[in-house]
A and B are shown apart, each in its own frame.
Chain A
Amino acid sequence: MRDQPSSPPPSTAERILDLLLEALQERQAARQASPERPAAPSGPGPQPALPPSPAAEPGAAPLASGPGGETPPAPEPVRQPPVPEVKPLRGLRPGEAGWTPPPRLPGINLGRTMGRLLLVLAVLTVLVNIPINRYGTSLARIMPDSAALVIRDGLVLKGSGPEIYVLEDDKLRWISSLDAFEFYGYRWEQVHVVEDSFLEDFERGKPIHVLLKCLSSPHIYALENGRKRWIKDIPTFEAEGYVWEDVKMVDCGYLRRLPDGLPIPQDAGPPPQP
């Protein structure tokens, strides 16, 4: 309108307004050209401020003034490129600069709870260890053993019958008498009661006898099934695999009271009495 000569000269107020408009446009151009400042919102509604990033600059370019700084034409509707999805900033991880620990959580008396749990478990542990039957077995050890056994030499086993075996070299050796059981230092708590089928998995080895002798007699007897079996001589003794440590000294009267079994060897003749 100012370029038309026929038009009347602008009033002072109009000139002031034009100057103000120019100043505003220059200010807007300077702001958009600055890389540190985010782009001004172009729409009427509020827009979220983008973080300072290279992706924000293309959106701001159409609003910038020309290279010479001249006044841009009247503002046109700006077609903005699609705004890239703004990813949230990764939170600071513990230990990184600027990280602060989250606010303290209120107490829930966890210490007291732990104390009670400790106490209850201690009482339970004591209870399961108290013997509850006449064999001294506690609740913790009352389950049958057969599934729990570690197969090894020296394992003492008993099936449904009265026989007790000890495992040696993968063979079950029958312990032929209570004297032998005690003489070789076995204890009842070592005996594991298992299914007969479990015993059948093993080959049978030589029975374990205890040898009995009394001071006033030179004869040695093997105790088997409650009967004493006379061992004829030293070669037979050694041939049977016995050693002197197998011999248990007993009272002669006790030895005489034991009934005689077959001698070793069986053709040795009538057994002498101790």
Chain B
Amino acid sequence: MKDLSVIETILRNRYHFFVEIREGIGLPEKMRAMLISSIAFLALYGAVMGSTHSLWQALSSAVKLPVLFLATLIVCSPTLYFFNVLFGSNQSLTQNIALILTAITVTAVLLLSFAPISMFFLLTTSHYQFFKLLNVAIFAVAGGAGVLFLSQGMRVVSASGVEGAGARHMVLRLWILVYAFVGSQVAWTLRPFIGAPSMRFELFRQLGGNFYTNIIASIGEILGFVVVR
């Protein structure tokens, strides 16, 4: 419960939180609290998503959703760090990771807040494509809010290094695109999270296709243009 109090600091006193990251105050404690909170929230949302298929899928998604975000963090954080250093930043890698963890925590909190809605649709509709697109939309909203926090945090944390601030801002924007792209590909690799009702439970599906064509096909099916096979 103590670790969850970091949520209040992030949501209500975010600038103080960012300033403390800039000053390097209590970074390990902050990162641990954010990590625990994020894992708990993401695991629960994963379980809600997977419940539409089977108990095994619920358990599997509860493990895979935190892994998805942490894997994306591990894959993407060195890029942000080294590009920031290239353009004059004096932040440490730990500070960068703390900022990205802040974004992940905000995303996880918002996902948890969407969990009742997701559960409501889980109980009242069984249209797989609709449920999938609903979750994609929820993830887009929560992820967007998360990277907005990251952007604000990066502005505060990099205040002391004025030189190259414009370039670093551009780097951050490009990095957010890369982050979204890597995240969607990791999600595709770790799928299924919901589990098509006509298919057996599988921990991982065979590779092939990609996230974007699948989403377009799902939209096409909902609109009645195609049948996903």
Contact = CB atoms under 8 A, between A and B. Distances in A.
Given A110-B7, A124-B119, A140-B51, A151 B229 contact: yes
B126 interface: yes
B51 A121 contact: no
Given A111-B7, A150-B199, A125 B48 contact: yes
- Determine chain A's interface SS by DSSP, over half rule: loop
Contacts of B156: 94-95, 101
Interface in B172-201: 196-200
Contact of B198 (A94, A144, A155): A155
Interface stretch (A112-120, A176-184, A245-253, A254-262): A112-120
- Determine chain B's interface SS by DSSP, over half rule: helix
B92 interface: no
Interface residues of B, number: 54
Contacts of A108: 8, 12
Interface in A99-146: 99, 101-102, 104-105, 107-112, 114-115, 117-118, 121-122, 124-125, 128-129, 138-141, 143-145
Contacts of A115: 1, 4
B33 to A, nearest CB: 10
A111 B196 CA distance: 35
A6 interface: no
A164 to B, nearest CB: 14
Q: Give the interface size bracket for A toward B.
A: 35 or more
B109 interface: yes
A142 to B, nearest CB: 8
A128 B122 contact: yes
A94 B15 contact: yes
A125 B119 contact: yes
Contacts of B170: none
A111 B47 CA distance: 21
B8 A111 contact: yes
A86 interface: no
Interface stretch (B52-60, B64-72, B78-86, B136-144): B52-60
B12 A97 contact: no
Task: Give the one of B8, B122, B196 with max A CB within 10 A.
Answer: B8
A128 B4 contact: no
Given A96-B159, A111-B1, A114-B7, A150 B55 contact: no
10 contacts: A99-B159, A111-B7, A114-B112, A118-B41, A140-B122, A141-B51, A143-B123, A148-B198, A150-B128, A152-B199
Nearest 9 A-B pairs (CB), nearest first? Answer: A111-B5, A143-B126, A110-B8, A101-B15, A95-B155, A111-B4, A95-B159, A140-B51, A148-B128
Given A110-B11, A147-B125, A150-B199, 14 more contacts: A94-B18, A101-B13, A101-B16, A107-B8, A111-B4, A111-B8, A121-B112, A141-B53, A141-B197, A144-B126, A145-B126, A148-B198, A149-B128, A150-B198
